[in-house]
Amino acid sequence: AQSVTQPDIHITVSEGASLELRCNYSYGATPYLFWYVQSPGQGLQLLLKYFSGDTLVQGIKGFEAEFKRSQSSFNLRKPSVHWSDAAEYFCAVGVGDTGNQFYFGTGTSLTVIP
């Protein structure tokens, strides 16, 4: 069965430090890959997505993610975290011929300390 794993439930980083959030998926082919961010009391906002081509994708708010087929991973990174980045981050995959089967991870909660 398809699945998405975000192994880190909660991460704390200092403002200005670098960030990497992990995401692994289980699927036989290359899925469509997404990262979403959810601020408290808000819906999910799309940060970036990967379908094909360059395995390093750039997103909004200074985030990037790298697709590594050999590791079935799609980790999210940011070189310098800002206090406003504190939120919940969700990795998601779309599988099937048209990617219409959508699976979310359980999320990683990010705390940013001054």
Q: Cβ of residue 55: shortest distance to other proteins, in angstroms?
A: 17
Cα distances (angstroms) measured from residue 15 to each of 18, 56, 60, 78, 113: 9, 24, 18, 11, 6
Please identify which residue in 18, 45, 58, 71 interacts with other proteins, judged by CB under 8 A: 45
| Residue 28 binds other proteins, judged by CB under 8 A | no
Among 49, 62, 75, 86, binds other proteins (CB under 8 A): 49
Binding residue (CB under 8 A) for other proteins from 94, 108, 110, 112:
94
Task: By CB under 8 A, name the binding residues for other proteins.
Answer: 4, 9, 32, 34, 36, 41-46, 49, 51, 90, 94, 98-100, 102-107
